[in-house]
Amino acid sequence: MAAYETDFCIRAAKMNRLLISFLILPWCVPLARAHAHSLPSPASGPPALAAGDPRLPLVFTPAPDSYVELDGTAAFVGSWYSRGAYVRGTVILATPRAKLQALFDPRPTVARSVAKDRSTPRLSLPLAGPPVGNLSIPVLSLSGNSPGMNHDMDAALKARRHPMIQYVFEKLIKANIRWSHSTGRPILQLSVLGKLTIAGKNRTLTTRMLVWREAQGHFHVQAHTAILMSSFHITPPSAFFGLIRANDRVSVIFNLDFVLTRHSPKRPTRP
């Protein structure tokens, strides 16, 4: 008798739960749908920033007239060079556009007072994060004033196994401002730590750079650093069947026109 009563109670409890679900379900579904429409979609993520939003980082890319050049010397022929175009890369600055414009467009009174001062004040530009920068150039794009040297340069730099010369920014060491006497405009003097990769070997170098604005949205970067080819495990290239061999020391020259995105990559004609 006790077992029968227990089974009856269990069945009654199940029937009660089923009846309650039938009564409540028609009301729950519309409420759930209305609540779902009021919540943001989990796949949508944070709201997208508009194209002109000042919170966006500034992105710069090299214009077509940018180049990287290797300069050296060799017995009998003196100096030689090998220049490569097709520079690709990106520089990203997490700073407001207005602050960058104010840096290169100072108020006349400020410009005159600073220009009279012979010292080079430290650069003050607010950054929300560390700068990011990288460059790459195809080895086969290098061409210079000696056809024989060009051929041996490709072999010396191991173009087939390592087709790209690469530079990656790592750290800004120092930044000052000086003023051009000819234009009266500011020129940034930067000391930069970066990693240069040639022929599959990389070395961390300290490079001094000059940065100035040539036109609206165009920022010219000029840098020069000396390396030893042997430190990259490179045999100096030669010409005339090895009779003329380049010296180990080579200068790497960066001559870059960085264009701020949403500006024309074609430099405007100067007056």
Average pLDDT over the chain, rounded to an integer? 75
Nearest by Cα to 186 from 123, 256, 235, 129: 123
More confident residue, 240 or 149: 149
Q: Output the pLDDT for position 35.
A: 39
For residue 49 the two structure tokens come to 């920033």
What is the domain-level CATH number for residue 172? Answer: 2.40.128.110
Range of the domain at 202: 58-260
* pLDDT exceeds cutoff 50 at 26: no
| Same domain (yes/no): 32, 105 | no
| Same domain (yes/no): 21, 137 | no
Q: Output the pLDDT for position 177.
A: 86
| Same domain (yes/no): 27, 107 | no
* pLDDT exceeds cutoff 50 at 131: yes
> How many structural domains does the chain have?
2
For residue 212 the two structure tokens come to 């100035």
pLDDT tens sequence across 201-236: 999 999 999 999 987 889 999 999 999 999 999 888
Q: How many residues does the chain have?
A: 271
| Same domain (yes/no): 63, 32 | no
Residues whose CB is less than 8 angstroms from the CB of residue 233 and which lie 6 or more positions away in sequence, other chains included: 199, 201
For residue 127 the two structure tokens come to 């950054």
| Same domain (yes/no): 1, 116 | no
Read off the pLDDT band of 95 (50, 70, 90): confident
* pLDDT exceeds cutoff 60 at 120: no
- For tokens 């944070």, name the residue: 46
| Same domain (yes/no): 36, 62 | no
More confident residue, 195 or 73: 195
Mean pLDDT of 12-27: 43
Query: pTM of the full predicted structure?
Result: 0.70
Domain for residue 250, yes or no?
yes
Domain for residue 46, yes or no?
no
